[in-house]
Structure 1
Amino acid sequence: MTPETKARQQIDQKLEQAGWVIQDVKQINLGAAVGVAVREYPTDTGPADYVLFVNRNAVGVIEAKKDSAGENITVTEKQTERYATAALKWRKDNTPLRFLIEATGQIIRFTDNADPAPRSREIFHFFKPETFAAWLGQPDTLRRRLAERMPVLPERNLRDCQISAVTGLEQSLAQNKPRALVHMATGAGKTFTAITAVYRLLKFGGARRILFLVDTRNLGKQAHQEFMAYTPPDDGRKFTELYNVQRLSSPSIDPHAQVCISTIQRMYSILSGEPIDESAEDLSLNEVQQTAAQQKLVRYNPAVPVETFGFIVIDECHRSIYNLWKQVLDYFDASLIGLTATPDKRTFGFFNENIVAEYTYEQSVADGVNVGYDVYEIETDITQRGAELKAKEWVDHRDRATRKKRWSETDEDTAYTGKELDRSVVNLSQIRQVIQAMKTAVETQIFPSRRETPKTLIFAKTDSHADDIINILREVYGQGNAFCKKVTYRAEEDADSILSSFRNDYNPRIAVTVDMIATGTDVKPLEVLLFMRDVRSKGYYEQMKGRGVRSLDGDSLKRVSNSADGAKARFVLIDAVGVEKSLKTESRPLEKKSGVALKDLLQGVAMGSLDDDTVLSLANRLVRLAKQLDDKAQARIEQASGGVSVAALGKGLIVALDPDAIVQTALANAQAQGKTASEDALLPAEIDAARAQRVAAACAPFDRPELRDAIDNARREREQLIDHINLDQVTFSGFSEQAEGEAREVIQRFADYIQQHKDEIAALDFFYQQPYQRRALTFAMIEDLHERLSKPPLMLTTERLWSAYARAQAGQVKGSESRRQLTDLISLVRFALGLDGELKPFADEVDKRFQTWIFRHNAQRATAFTPEQTDWLRLMKDHIASSCSIARDDFDYAELADKGGLQRVWQVFGSELDGLMDEMNRELVA
């Protein structure tokens, strides 16, 4: 079978699956079905591979190609256009055909010529004939309606950030951009914003059906409730009275549903035929690892064709959209709309860097939408160092599932680390010490004026761990069953009922969860989060922290916390497992100087201390104070400031440090001086001057002594301190400050391990054999070393090691704030061995060596590298920085493949390529 014949066979099969009847031109019978695809149909420019007829009318053409041409299938678009505009034999009307398709056995590209600026797009499968019939019956296309028919957004009941998000999204859709990302801080109303956009797409855009993808079943339920509660600004009826909303709980999609709410797991199950584990929908995909067995590919489902949804809203699906489940998004011919509070580089890349709205956590705090937070740390000896159970000790042995106990001797010595706590070993004393330390800290330092425990959420490792925490909480606080409850999917009581009481009633004061309240769930009265578990994902950690950021007015807070005086001003994250130190978090506390008194911050600013930490800390205190003061105190400060409120003073400081605004100020300054400056051409000195100008203006009011006194007096009137002696056995308790001794201990353990294992680990042997084995270092070797270091008992991750060096040897460490890459382990080993005098990110060292290398080459060559060659060399350098080396196969990776891959780079360098790669591998990594 020739490649052409095989491709035709696969095309025929796919057309038939979509409901088309395939006919040869000699046996044509246009009455055989709604949709008929006629092979080799004659035209005045030659036979077209397929002409598509719907209800007896020619509507489209398919140009078929063999699979080997698939990568360049767009080059055949002119050929398809030629057949679409040709005169068809036996057809009186020579109007150009509307639907243009190029197809191989594997790839299908589709163009609707009725769209404004028609643009081809890849689709998973052919559309059904009925879909073409419906489109032909409409006066204009979906994309034309989005570009020309969307009315102005009513702004009533919408925050500025929500208006910006909906407007930006609609502008993006009008430009036919297939993917758009809305970045909005947790608590800013992402779901409400999304529903507003969905309503407008249905009413004015004429969207047929929209898929709303969520992370867990609980979030699906919450989203459904928000759809039911939503009242559009131009209609008095509820959303669900206007449109049918289905929360998917079976494989069947209601044909009348205009919005479907589903987890991505369930949709994957429908399309792949993989049975769904109902409990899997209860677990956040941030915590789910795909197993090797989960390899079923999504396949065409005639009951759920690719045109089922016109838009897919992805509500915090996080990393799930990048792995096996991404097939769900590839399957549907739909525009993708991402909603997230925690984007990373993958998120930006997946959505083609099309960020239609951006509203950061810091902006939300400045606007009063959210509150700031402080970090309080609790360390115990066993959490940090672990412990050992000797053989022949009589202890309880507890079944993990049933929790049934038996009293017996241990068989052998059992050493365990803090990471193994509450999994293989349970130490009730450790849990008790953390709970007691939390109780003491809340009552004496964090919320000393409260008579009742603030609403507190504790994140546990497992359901069994949650049970242990609940029992000890009731014991330490001396309270009954109502005081604290477990809110997990396995709780004996109804989780939704407990969650409702936790949100709205006095009791429970404390809730313990594993992951049910980790993402998306709204509990505004929360003021304390205690982490008794670590988290793998940066994004997931941000989501968990987001449970505490919601602002709340004073009356509402007082309803559930009687002694609260004023609006919710902050929340406190209590870190009992070191989760905050692992550099997972994307946002940082605004409070940079928690130990500095407010009056000293005010005095420092007045004396010219205008560094970021001081200005942001003062801003945080002012925004917090604004929520606490009564009208009289607010008025006194406003009078002293010349009419500026406390909240506005704080927001002004935050806005002054906005990097984008600083650049705009620098550009305006340059233009005022008669320069034609662009952002790229701005000098560092010009940006620094703009920053200083903005900060000085924002800080100018604090030059007034009367304003500083009015603010400090108002603060002292609000504050009550209780002196209490802490008698527990906690080794460290305080606001986010790691002990230097622990850092030195971590460094020593690392150095000892390198010395002891230098002969058995390839990556270590590489460094000990300098300089003769330079080319031998591989990414796999670094992965192997990282895996050995990060396992118990060492638990030495790259992040932890870098942090330890930064604390113990700060003067020799660079790039502490940059994100860690696995290849930074190379820099750590070199520094530990004394090969380098400074600890710098591996990528920085590669950059430095690259500059030397390329300068030498340009000096030695007859002609210097061309701009295109230089761009390729930089891409290759970046790949080496993240992967240790580069080879021909690496040009299949996205960053390199997007530029043309191996085929293009070979055209640029020719036979010189392999030699250049060898040189770069040797000289940039060593």
Structure 2
Amino acid sequence: MENTGDITQLAAEQRARVLIDRQLRAAGWEVQDRNKANLSFPGVAVREAVMAPGHGRADYLLYVDKRAVGVIEAKPEGTTLSGVEWQSARYATGLPPAVRLKALTLDDRLPFVFEASGSEVHLTNGYDPVPRARRVFSFPRPETLARTIREAEADPAAATWRARVRSMPPLLTEGLRPAQITAIEGIERSLAEQRYSRSLVQMATGAGKTYTAVTTCYRLLKHGGFRRILFLVDRNNLGSQTLAEFQNYATPDDGRRLTEIYNVNALTSAGMLDSSSIVVSTIQRVYAALQGRTVEDVDDPGVDNYVPDAPVDVSYNPQMPPEAFDLVIVDEAHRSIYGVWRGVLEYFDAHIVGLTATPVKQTFGFFQQNLVSEYTYAESVADNVNVDFDVYRIKTQISDAGATIEAGTVIPKVDRRTRVQRYESLDDDVTYTATQLDRAVTAKNQIRLVLETFRDRLFTEIFPGRSTVPKTLIFCKDDNHAEEVVTAVREVFGQGNDFAAKITYNAKDPKGALKAFRTSPTLRVAVTVDMIATGTDVRPLECVFFMRDVRSASYFEQMKGPRVPDHRPYGLPAGDAGRGDQDPVRAGGRRGCHGAPARGRDAAGAEEVGLAQPAAGQGRDVRAGRGRDGVAGVPAREAGTRSHPGRARRARRGGRWVDAVDRPGARARRGPR
């Protein structure tokens, strides 16, 4: 039935046949009529094949290497396919004698059974330990079925990964933490049971999620029958970090590096290498590859930060067919899995494993409520895997309430695109809110005031007894804001370019700057927007400084968590411009919050869409009010002392961890174990 034109006028069943023909051809099958069949091609789909008496005609009989291996039952679009499985099963067992002589059968039936409607395809693989229909994006390619057949002939009991994963050897636990052992065993148990097509691992940031995933990949490739794994990272710069994890992983059984045994590659502009066993990418780059677009092998925020306005539609790509991956691992699953990118993940006929520290209800929904392991931040602190943190809050008046620039004030306006500056005199008063600060309007003195307060209290309250500025990461609102902040940091501390650097996608050599921040003894402050927001490890880091709103609790946890060293306390100055009284500490009841009175000149004079010195006389003394997270001016000294209310500490009592808050009349609250 050849039809390449408009098929809307065809009857429903004929239209479905045309769509199925197209899907088969796209997947590499030769579609032929029964009376013109030529089986010399690797994969042939013969229409209207006559079966044995009493078994009717199969809509399509599939041949691989001249042997009948499967059937397709075709139905009109909209048909619920599980209701016609009895028909396809009848064809699978009803081969005529002439065909049966050269057919491949398993327990007297063809091993590959499909139901299709043009909009849906269901596949039952007879080589699975419990054959069960599952929905697939499209038909597998002939060479895919041929490979399964070869593996079945070599070992009939282990033809697919669903069979082989049931007989995995015991996990070698040396060098693994208990939480990592639980996660790996939970993933493998879920794969073996096949009660869910997705698995979720909740593990505190900094507790070793990536190492857990690398260990899982190695075991599944070596013992579980997995051929290729897709590892999705949240940002492209994390791809290099993930590749390094694979390269540095010493296999526990023979000591070789994983990359000496299996090829681990990033998804590049050339596409996916056939020899790759593990492919590392962002979901945006996978989507681009499925569309056939070429993406440069460089960090590109226009690609890696791209979020479409509506859920994406995915089309079949023979260069990356649905069976290209057996497993998809989504690192930091809370950001990629649901919503607009869901179609990319569901394109692949693969089990999906999600790794996250901060699941939300949509995450649980996508992963079918299949939480295979759970390791909270509170538990990681109790186990000395992670460290707790203190919150130090700096507030200014205009960051809380905004301000007004009076009419007649001469201000510079800056073009965001070109950064060309020109001066204008305001005809009317300009009132701006806290949320417009550092976006539509920037006040240089406000930025300086926050940084000066941080500098003045750094060695007396935040890190008492220190003499060297701790490694500090400052989060800004956008690249223009970051530009001003890095300049102000150098001026406030009286240091040069090697003291503070901007590390954003727009900076020159951001990867080199990030490496320098990790290793250089002189580079103490990094200023960023989102590039180091999730998952980037900077072990010397001790201080995370927010000069921006973070309205997502889960994103906040990711931004502050993964960059701190094990077994080392660190400060978390909440020096945000515009955060107000929002509470940045959400999880586990842990908090040690301190306010700082920001005394000095809080610049109310500013300019729109740019930066300038404020007009004279616009400054004012600013005193931090009493916030709900602490008392203004409380020094950040040893946790848990009577003289410092608002501090929280962890103590183990009777086998449980409790939060003991040193506050008169306060009750100890039970926390999670």
- Tell me which interval the TM-score lies in, with the shorter structure as reference length: 0.7 to 0.9
1:698-709 superposed matches below 5 A: none
Q: What does residue range 431-510 of structure 1 map to in structure 2 within 5 Å?
A: 431-492=447-508, 494-510=509-525
State the distance in 1 between where 2:592 and 2:656 align.
14
In structure 1, which of residues 161, 170, 194 is the aligned counterpart of residue 179 of structure 2? 161
Q: Name stretches of at least 5 consecutive residues in structure 1 with no aligned partner.
A: 553-567, 605-612, 623-648, 658-690, 699-926
For residues 404 and 637 of structure 2, what CA distance do their matches in structure 1 show? 46
Per the alignment, residue 544 of structure 1 pairs with 559
Distance 1:2 1:471 in 2: 69
- Residue aligning to 2:657: 654
Report the alpha carbon displacement of residue 131 of structure 1 after superposing the two structures with TM: 0.6
CA distance in 2, matches of 1:357, 1:272: 35
User: 1:81 is matched with which residue: 83, 89, 99?
Assistant: 89
Alpha-carbon offset, residue 507 of structure 1: 1.6
Q: How does 1:748-787 map to 2 (within 5 A)?
A: none
Percent of residue pairs bearing the same amino acid type: 44
Q: Which residue of 2 aligns with 1:422?
A: 438
SS in 2 for 1:529: strand
Partner SS state of residue 17, structure 2: helix
Question: What is the one-letter code of the residue matched to 1:159?
Answer: R
- 1:892 corresponding residue in structure 2: none
Q: Does 1:385 align with 2:401?
A: yes
Alpha-carbon contact 2:450-2:575 (below 8 Å) kept: no
**2:119 pairs with 1:111:** no
Distance between the aligned counterparts of 2:334 and 2:352, measured in 1? 14
In structure 1, the partner of 2:276 is: 257
Q: Distance in 2 between matches of 1:485 and 1:599?
A: 31
What is the CA–CA distance in structure 1 between the aligned matches of 2:159 and 2:291, rounded to whole Å? 30
Report how far residue 28 of structure 1 moved: 2.4
Does residue 102 (structure 1) correspond to residue 115 (structure 2)? The answer is yes
2:56 is aligned to 46
Q: Which moved more, 1:174-183 or 1:580-589?
A: 580-589
What code does the residue aligned with 2:482 have?
Answer: A
Q: Residue deviations 1:806-831, cap 9 Å, x none?
A: xxxxxxxxxxxxxxxxxxxxxxxxxx
Amino acid paired to 2:648: S
Structure 2 distance, partners of 1:408, 1:241, is 63
Cα drift, residue 617 of structure 1: 3.3
Q: Does 1:173 align with 2:191?
A: yes
Residue range with higher mean Cα deviation, 444-453 or 322-331? 322-331
Q: Which secondary structure does the structure 2 equivalent of 1:357 belong to?
A: strand
Which residue number corresponds to residue 59 of structure 1?
A: 69
* Residue of structure 1 in register with 2:605 after alignment: none
- Residue 2 (1) aligns with residue 11 (2): yes
Is the 1:313–1:338 Cα contact (8 Å) retained in structure 2? yes
Residue in structure 2 matched with residue 319 of structure 1 by the alignment: 335
Matches of 1:217 and 1:378, distance apart in 2: 33
> Cα gap change, 1:81/1:381 in structure 2, threshold over 3 Å: closer, same or farther?
same
8 Å contact kept, 2:233–2:239: yes
Deviations 1:77-114 (A, max 9, x none): 12222221223342345621101111001000111112
Deviation at 1:405, TM superposition (A): 2.7
Tell me which residue corresponds to 1:184: 203
Q: In 2, Cα distance between the equivalents of 1:304 and 1:376?
A: 49
Kindly indicate whether residue 145 of structure 2 is the aligned counterpart of residue 127 of structure 1: no
Q: Deviations over 1:828-876 (max 9, x none)?
A: xxxxxxxxxxxxxxxxxxxxxxxxxxxxxxxxxxxxxxxxxxxxxxxxx
C-alpha RMSD over aligned residues: 3.0
Measure the CA separation in 2 of the matches of 1:618 and 1:378. Answer: 22
Q: Give the Cα–Cα distance (whole angstroms) in 1 for the partners of residues 658 and 90 of structure 2.
A: 56
Question: Residues 599, 351 of structure 1: CA spacing in aligned structure 2 closer, same or farther, 3 A cutoff?
Answer: closer
Secondary structure of residue in 1 paired with 2:372: strand
**Alignment coverage as a number of residue pairs:** 605
Distance in 2 (CA, whole Å) between partners of 1:317 and 1:277 is 25
Deviation at 1:593, TM superposition (A): 8.4
Instruction: Identify the match of residue 521 of structure 1 among 530, 536, 544.
Output: 536
Q: Which residue of 2 aligns with 1:666?
A: none
Q: Does 1:242 align with 2:261?
A: yes
User: Structure 2 CA distance, aligned partners of 1:601 and 1:227?
Assistant: 41
Higher strand residue share: 2
Asked if residue 366 in structure 1 is aligned to residue 354 in structure 2, the reply is no
Matched letter for residue 569 of structure 2 = A
Determine helix, strand or coil for the equivalent of 1:338.
Answer: strand
The 1-side partners of 2:209 and 2:639 are apart by 38
- Opposite residue 266 of structure 2, the aligned amino acid is R
Partner of 1:301: 317
- Per-residue CA deviation, residues 684-707 of structure 1 (Å, 9 max, x unaligned), is xxxxxxx99x979x9xxxxxxxxx
How far the C-alpha of 1:165 sits from its partner, in A, is 0.7
TM-score by length of 2: 0.84
Contact preservation (8 Å) 1:422, 1:461 = yes
Alignment partners' CA distance in 1, 2:449 and 2:46:
74
* 3-state secondary structure, aligned to 1:111: strand
Match of 1:200 among 215, 219, 227: 219
Matched residue, 1:18 = 27
Superposition TM-score, scaled by structure 1 size: 0.62
CA deviation map 1:137-195 (0-9, x unaligned): 10223344444321111001111111111111000000123100111111011111101
Note if 1:617 corresponds to 2:648.
yes
Counterpart of 1:341 (choices 357, 368, 373) is: 357
**1:277 deviation in Å?**
8.4
Check the 8 A contact 2:114/2:123 in 1, yes or no. Answer: yes
Partner of 1:150: 168
1:809 is matched with none
SS at match of 1:197: helix
Q: Aligned-pair distance for 1:581?
A: 4.7
State the alpha-carbon separation in 2 of the partners of residues 654 and 119 from structure 1: 45
Call closer, same or farther: CA 1:584–1:451 in 2, change over 3 Å. closer
Measured after TM superposition, the shift of residue 397 of structure 1 is: 2.3
d(CA) in 2 for partners of 1:385, 1:217: 37
Higher relative contact order (Cα pairs below 8 Å, separated by 6+ residues) = 2
DSSP-derived class of the 1:90 partner: helix
Q: Which residue of 2 aligns with 1:401?
A: 417
Q: Specify the SS of the correspondent of 1:452.
A: coil
Look up the equivalent residue of 2:19 and give its one-letter code: Q
How far, CA to CA, are the matches of 1:51 and 1:573 in structure 2? 67
- Asked if 2 retains the 8 angstrom alpha-carbon contact of 1:373 and 1:549, the reply is no
Residues 314, 144 of structure 1: alpha-carbon distance in 2 compared, 3 angstrom cutoff: closer
Alignment partners' CA distance in 1, 2:638 and 2:272? 62
Are the structure 2 counterparts of residues 151 and 508 from structure 1 closer, same or farther at C-alpha, using a change threshold of 3 Å?
same
Note the alpha carbon deviations across 1:46-99, whole angstroms, 9 max, x for none: 111111111111111111111131xx2111112222221223342345621101
Structure 2 SS opposite 1:320: coil
Distance 2:145 2:639 in 1: 71
Q: Which runs of 5+ in 2 are unaligned?
A: 1-9, 595-629, 661-666
Q: State the SS of the aligned residue for 2:135.
A: strand
In 1, Cα distance between equivalents of 2:544 and 2:385: 19
Counterpart Cα distance in 2 of 1:283 and 1:146: 41
1:228 aligns with 2:247: yes
Corresponding letter in the other structure for 1:259: I
Distance 1:417-1:20 versus aligned 2 partners, 3 A rule: same
Contact 2:405 2:429 in 1 (8 A): yes
Q: CA deviation at 1:548?
A: 4.7
Residue 91 of structure 1 corresponds to 99
2:611 alignment partner in structure 1: none
Question: Hey, what does 2:36 align to over in structure 1?
Answer: 27
Q: Check conservation: 1:272, 1:296, Cα contact below 8 A.
A: no
> How far 1:585 moved relative to its partner?
5.8
